[in-house]
Amino acid sequence: MTTTIMHRYRIGIGPWQQIDRASLTALHTTLPLKVQIAKAMPSRPRSYDRDCGLLMALSLYCWGGLGKNLKGKGWATREYAEDYDFHFYINLLRAVDRFDPNKGNWASQVGWCAKAALRDLARQINKVKAVDEQLKVLLQEVNTDQDDSWETTEEPSENEVQYV
């Protein structure tokens, strides 16, 4: 009796699906090349969307896209999960264009995409923090300016016009 190792993945927010190790190994080489060829065609075949979605799902869940890169990160919460996925998919589509099975396997490309997604996400977080700090400074300036507003002064101004 042999047991088959099953891997779980899902496409988008769809239901969880399973794939066995033999099918996953076969797709490891063929699927990136299939997507690469279809992506380069001027009119993409109908299967491109399905294959591209499958490649992204398998890369994220089975080939190391979510692996150890996110564990132990304090900011790796649900708040940034969608942003990480977005950056990961962008880097994955870039990696498909330059994938060559003679130079390395697809899982190594997925690992680089995950690291690049973390880098891009960290840059995004740092930009947001910088903007938040600038906004806080501006709000403090506005609040201090409002304390000395024109309505609180009792003395007439030089520019004030009196109507008789």
Report how far residue 108's alpha carbon sits from residue 56's, in angstroms, rounded to the nearest whole number.
14
Report how far residue 55's alpha carbon sits from residue 34's, in angstroms, rounded to the nearest whole number.
10
φ/ψ of 58, rounded to 5, equals -65, -40
pLDDT score for 91:
92
Q: Is the pLDDT of residue 63 over 70?
A: yes
pLDDT in tens, 64-110: 777 655 555 555 566 777 888 888 889 999 999 999 888 888 888 88
